[in-house]
Amino acid sequence: MNQPTRILTLALLLLQLMDSIDAKMSIISTKLDIKVGDEILLLCKAGAEGDITWQKDGEDIDDEEIVNKLDEASSKLVIKKATMQDAGRYTCHCDFDSGHKDDAQIQLFVYDGPSFGSTKTYHEFLEGTDGLVPCLVTGQPQVDVQWFKNQQEISNVGGHMRKQSDNTLRIEKVKREDAGTYVCRAQIRGRPSIFMELSVSVVVNAPPTVRLREEVKKVLAGPETNVSLLCLVDGLPQPNITWTMPVQFNPSRHHFNSDSSQLTIQSVVREDFGEYVCTATNKIAESSATIMLHVFEAPEVFVSAEQQRVLVGEAVSVSCNVTGHPHPELHWLNKQNGQTLSSTSGRVRVVDNVLMIDEVVPSDGGLYSCMAISSSGNASRDVAVYSK
């Protein structure tokens, strides 16, 4: 290569280098993902003087409200309110004064939403039924929906919950532990940073149920006897408990625990017997159970006299009565010979619980006993007959 050729080659190279520096075109945009309604602002810097034109997806843009020449080497494109149709490839083309041509390109993504419209944020379901929790999302170009509970995505495999094709969360046979806050997360497809979340509360209801530890309760009346009736209640919301009793409520003898599930009766008396009904009520339904309280009474014996002093030949008459529940059998006993006096006629007899002895003889003297016998116990009272 001779000297002049070498110089020419060098000059050409330099020119090419300068040209390529000149042609360093760029489009500057504040963002590439634009929400519908927001402003689009593109700035094209040609780097050297020339004639700048804009194209969108290969079509010329010559609307002067949109494209504006800033100076000989730059131009801007402004769209005040972006619409979905503004998405696409924008090209800034420059015919440089040097005769060279070049362009720069940028791809703009336009999206709308996502938004949840009139999605309900509170649901109540009855335990055991199927619950549907819709998430009514809108958004463009496309929205992907995920459901979360406790920061965990609800998987469509396994478990009893799944997202339907319409984005509704379906809970099969709702359980109590399904209550809580769910999050519907809507994301513009392909744009992980563009999303919205909506919290939806789920409340689970269950009708009241009542369980008793014992349906029949038996106690012996007495000042020392306290009896507790227990009603085990379940339901959601927590049911209220009320009691109906066979006797008038008496605050000095009837006590309830804090949730009224237990009724305590102090110093039980015979009159307390009967049906105690506990009723559990919540807004779903009510349910009751009945406890039968049997109150037994220990027998007691009353005699009209504990000592009888009579002269031989006179008559003796002692009446006896017994109380208790069940009502006791009454027997008169001659304690000298241990015999029960059952005759209703004769000289020594028992008539209507009255012991009668006609024309007393000396051997009639001694101890007699009026006895009360029942399943609640026995009692007796002695009567001493003295004859002379």
Ligand X SMILES: *[C@@H]1O[C@H](CO)[C@@H](O)[C@H](O)[C@H]1NC(C)=O
Tell whether the torsion through CA atoms of 270, 271, 272 and 273 is positive or negative. Answer: positive
Q: Say which amino acid occupies 135.
A: C
Q: CA 104, CA 45: separation in Å to the nearest integer?
A: 9
Q: Which is nearer to ligand X, 61 or 284 (CB)?
A: 284
Q: Which is nearer to ligand X, 196 or 373 (CB)?
A: 373
Q: Which is nearer to ligand X, 145 or 333 (CB)?
A: 333
Q: Which is nearer to ligand X, 119 or 266 (CB)?
A: 266
CB 311 within 8 A of CB 328: no
For residue 25, give the nearest of 77, 76, 90, 93 by alpha carbon.
93
Q: Which is nearer to ligand X, 113 or 239 (CB)?
A: 239
CB 243 within 8 A of CB 230: no
Q: CA 298, CA 292: separation in Å to the nearest integer?
A: 19
In the complex, least distance from residue 354 CB atom to ligand X, rounded to whole angstroms: 8
In the complex, least distance from residue 341 CB atom to ligand X, rounded to whole angstroms: 15
In the complex, least distance from residue 339 CB atom to ligand X, rounded to whole angstroms: 13
In the complex, least distance from residue 375 CB atom to ligand X, rounded to whole angstroms: 9
Q: Which is nearer to ligand X, 142 or 339 (CB)?
A: 339
In the complex, least distance from residue 207 CB atom to ligand X, rounded to whole angstroms: 12
Q: CA 45, CA 71: separation in Å to the nearest integer?
A: 10
Q: Which is nearer to ligand X, 98 or 225 (CB)?
A: 225
Q: Which residue in the block uniquely carries the two structure tokens 């709308």? A: 112
Residue 50, judged by CB atoms within 10 A of its CB (0-12, 13-18, 19+), counts as buried
- Which spans of this chain sit near ligand X (rule: CB under 6 A)? 224, 226, 240, 266, 281-283, 302, 319, 321, 373, 377-378
In the complex, least distance from residue 290 CB atom to ligand X, rounded to whole angstroms: 20
In the complex, least distance from residue 239 CB atom to ligand X, rounded to whole angstroms: 7
Secondary structure, 3-state, 76-106 = EEEECCCCHHHCEEEEEEEEECCCCEEEEEE
